[in-house]
């Protein structure tokens, strides 16, 4: 059957099939210029388009292998002439994953029918992702042994397929990217460095093989941020072949930013994301920094980052939503509160609070690799900002943790006497405990929701100074927004509401914030 045109090729620079000479430079003494060239390259790469996922899936299920292979071979030939197509080629093979609705039976039949490099690479990519899916995202000590063994089995099979694909086509860069990842997670007859060296030997222009190697140099895989930086700098000798290699230098900063983000240390997260983006734009990092700006209350800068995302991806749903007048604030939030303030609160002489613990009872959060730790940290940060807004001081989180001895102590396991003891040792006048009994999305109603229970106890007497039950919902289409941002926006509005309530009901003289 005659192959249909599946790949979108939209060259932003006209009919040129190579990087324009002035776009490539080996001069690393002008970082601003190199970052600009990296951004130009990224914009051009995205403008080249992607595979039509639904059409590929349909062709695979109807066994029209010639059509698929014709499209993939055409894309590979474009890449060999023009490195800008590497992104499109990489994403073409990322399509082969269990989550894309593709079955292993269809891939097995494809390999048995044509035995092409494209077929082997596709099945190898699928099995590589299947291995990671089976393992799950929890730490090794919390992952059942059977899941680890299943991952190794799938990765061993993936290695055989990827090796066969490379034997047939040594220049197929996506196969090396998958090899780098599975050799990091499983024991196969190749190391990540060996896979990278093979890739560079056959095509020293590659960005994505180097990017994968930088990623696996992360400390959680046994590497270090220094190794990530050193490798990125060592790649600059090839920058005249691919301007995007300049951006690799930002990845060590990016991973530090993600760590700070998880801890709700927004100041350092923004600083690290900005340091990473100084080496060139990355759409994911721009969205990450925008989210941090939003969570820290800097809506204007969040909107600016989302506008930058739209420059690269005009149809990105979250960026589009933020670009509309009012951003998320234009949505119709339903906020409710039931707050009690002790008539004796002024006699408690509260000037300084200690946030002892925040816990949640949300099942889907418990199943996440971090167990919902990020949500807890984000709530603590919002409570701290609320206290600052009210003019109260608060004890630094690290000091509270050191005194309490754990970050995960359950509220149900604490009692006023324990809380008073933590408060006294930390120098606080009152302690705060909070729970999140429910949060998520009600699919039947098309709304996102979150409930928060929070109370403050006097360190001196153990009596309740104030307590509140907060509930919030917002209707929104799931495909238009990132759920984490919507839930975060509910939290932000609920704490802002509580701040307004407490400001009107607590008439005592307050100290300035820290």
Q: What is the pLDDT along the chain (514 residues), one digit of tens a residue?
A: 444 444 444 333 333 334 443 455 566 668 889 999 999 999 999 999 888 889 999 999 999 999 999 999 999 999 999 999 999 999 999 999 998 889 999 999 999 999 999 999 999 999 999 999 999 887 788 888 999 999 999 999 999 999 999 999 999 999 999 999 999 999 999 999 999 999 999 999 999 999 999 999 999 899 999 999 999 999 999 999 999 999 999 999 999 999 999 888 999 999 999 999 999 999 999 999 999 998 888 888 998 999 999 999 998 888 888 877 767 777 889 999 999 999 999 999 999 999 998 999 999 888 887 888 889 999 999 999 999 999 999 999 889 988 886 544 555 446 788 899 999 999 999 999 999 999 999 888 889 999 999 999 999 999 999 999 999 999 877 555 678 888 999 999 999 999 999 999 997 754 444 4
Contact 348, 260 (CB under 8 A): no
User: Structure pTM?
Assistant: 0.82
Q: How far is CA 336 from the centre of its chain?
A: 31
Residue 315 sits at the vertex; the CA angle it makes with 313 and 321, to the nearest 5 degrees, is 110
Question: What is the predicted pLDDT for the residue at 286?
Answer: 97
| Calpha distance 278→32 (Å, rounded) | 8
Reduced to 3 states (helix: H, G, I; strand: E, B; else coil), residue 374 is: helix
Q: Is 357 helix (H, G, I), strand (E, B) or coil?
A: strand
Hey, what's the torsion of the CAs at 177, 181, 182, 187, to 10 degrees? Answer: 120
Q: Which residues pair with 430 in a beta bridge?
A: 353, 458
């Amino acid at each position: 059957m005659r192959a249909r045109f599946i790949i979108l090729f939209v060259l932003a620079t006209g009919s040129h099939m190579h990087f324009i000479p002035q776009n490539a430079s080996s001069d690393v003494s002008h970082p601003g210029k190199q970052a600009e060239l990296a951004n130009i390259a990224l914009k051009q790469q995205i403008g080249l388009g992607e595979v039509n996922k639904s059409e590929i899936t349909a062709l695979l299920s109807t066994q029209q292998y010639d059509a698929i292979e014709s499209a993939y071979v055409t894309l590979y030939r474009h890449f060999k002439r023009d490195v800008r197509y590497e992104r499109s080629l990489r994403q073409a093979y990322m399509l082969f994953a269990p989550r894309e609705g593709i079955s292993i039976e269809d891939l097995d039949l494809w390999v048995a029918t044509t035995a092409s490099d494209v077929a082997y690479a596709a099945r190898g990519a699928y099995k590589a992702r299947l291995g990671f899916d089976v393992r799950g995202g929890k730490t090794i000590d919390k992952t059942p042994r059977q899941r680890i063994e299943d991952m190794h089995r799938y990765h061993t099979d993936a290695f055989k397929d990827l090796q066969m694909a490379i034997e047939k086509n040594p220049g197929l860069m996506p196969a090396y990217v998958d090899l780098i990842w599975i050799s990091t997670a499983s024991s196969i007859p190749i190391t990540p460095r060996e896979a990278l060296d093979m890739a560079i030997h056959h095509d020293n222009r590659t960005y994505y093989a180097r990017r994968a190697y930088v990623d696996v140099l992360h400390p959680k895989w046994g590497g270090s941020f220094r190794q990530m930086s050193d490798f990125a700098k060592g790649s600059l000798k090839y920058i005249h072949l691919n301007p995007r290699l300049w951006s690799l230098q930002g990845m060590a900063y990016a991973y530090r930013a993600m760590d700070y983000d998880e801890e709700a240390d927004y100041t350092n997260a923004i600083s690290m994301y900005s340091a990473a983006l100084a080496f060139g734009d990355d759409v994911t990092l721009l969205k990450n920094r925008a989210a941090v700006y939003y969570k820290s209350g800097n809506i204007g800068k969040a909107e600016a980052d989302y506008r930058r995302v739209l420059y690269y991806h005009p149809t990105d749903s979250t960026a589009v939503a933020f670009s509309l007048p009012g951003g998320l604030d234009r949505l119709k939030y339903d906020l409710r509160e039931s707050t009690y303030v002790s008539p004796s609160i002024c006699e408690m002489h509260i000037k300084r609070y200690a946030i002892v613990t925040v816990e949640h009872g949300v099942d889907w959060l418990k199943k996440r690799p971090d167990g919902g730790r990020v949500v807890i940290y984000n709530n603590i940060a919002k409570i701290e900002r609320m206290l600052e807004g009210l003019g109260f001081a608060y004890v630094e989180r690290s000091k509270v943790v050191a005194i309490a001895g754990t970050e995960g102590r359950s509220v149900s396991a604490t009692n006023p006497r324990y809380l008073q003891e933590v408060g006294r040792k930390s120098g606080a006048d009152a302690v705060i405990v909070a729970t999140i009994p429910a949060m998520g999305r009600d699919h039947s109603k098309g709304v996102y929701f979150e409930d928060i229970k929070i109370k403050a106890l006097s360190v001196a007497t153990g009596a309740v100074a104030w307590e509140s039950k907060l509930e919030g919902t917002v209707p929104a289409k799931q495909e238009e927004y990132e759920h984490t941002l919507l839930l975060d926006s509910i939290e932000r509005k609920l704490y802002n509401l509580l701040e307004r309530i407490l400001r009107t009901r607590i008439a005592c003289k307050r100290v300035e914030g820290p």
